[in-house]
Amino acid sequence: MTQGEFWGEIQLLSTEIEDAITIFHTYEEINRLTVEDAEIYRVLNEDALFWKCQRYCLQTSLFIILSRIFDRAKDARSIHKVIRAAVGHPEWFSKEALATRKRTEGFPTDGLNQYLGTAWAPSTPVEVRHLKKELAGHHGRIDDVYRPIRNKVFAHRLTSNDQDASELFGRTNRVEVGKILDSLHDLIDAIQALYVNGTRPELGKRSYNEYNQRIRAGTERILRKLAARSTNVA
């Protein structure tokens, strides 16, 4: 893998993670408002089949994308591929490599040395290995709880009855999924900031509450508009 290919993998994975986050919080907000707001419940129930289809599509997409992000196959374009490359090529994050990228981007030559003076670069793979450890903490749960749903319910129909599927879903935890997605967001942002700006990757210091809430707020606005229009028509 070249540096250019590595950057392409980062961008692809960042999009995948953002898609999963958008799907998750859209799905969760629809569920929340359906339970908590009688008007929204009424308007969604008027076209229940349509909204059932939307929820199913969101749920299916989430499990498919999550499994793709965590795919361990060597040829898979996954978080594992990006982490392996990051840990295996500390030279890509050297100040020399960063300077070359900045010159290519047109960074002012007279300010480059000062910029590089504040940049961080790993001297050995050990200094970025905590990125791999962060990932390992989630992969067990994905393999144990969430990938079986993708394999047995959405990608293939391997469950024999609804009870089997219900038991699989009974092991899931929505709060846990939200935390896994936030952790992925933090991880890819840290790698991107290291590659682009020479920022030391420190995990757990970013908050994604505002980002997630913007997704939920957009979903709420749409549903409230539908409820308001339905009331006016009636």
Q: CB-hemisphere CA count at 13 Å for 23?
A: 21
Cα–Cα distance measured from residue 162 to residue 211, given in angstroms and rounded to the nearest whole number = 35
Q: Are 6 and 85 in contact (CB under 8 A)?
A: yes
| CA 83 and chain centroid, separation | 15
Note the pLDDT tens digit of each residue in 117-129. 999 999 888 899 8
| Interaxial angle between packed helices 174-197 and 130-141, expressed in degrees from 0 to 180 and rounded to the nearest 10 | 160
Model confidence at 233, pLDDT cuts 50, 70, 90, reads low
Model confidence at 232, pLDDT cuts 50, 70, 90, reads low
Note the pLDDT tens digit of each residue in 58-83. 999 999 999 999 998 888 899 999 99
Q: pTM for the whole thing?
A: 0.91
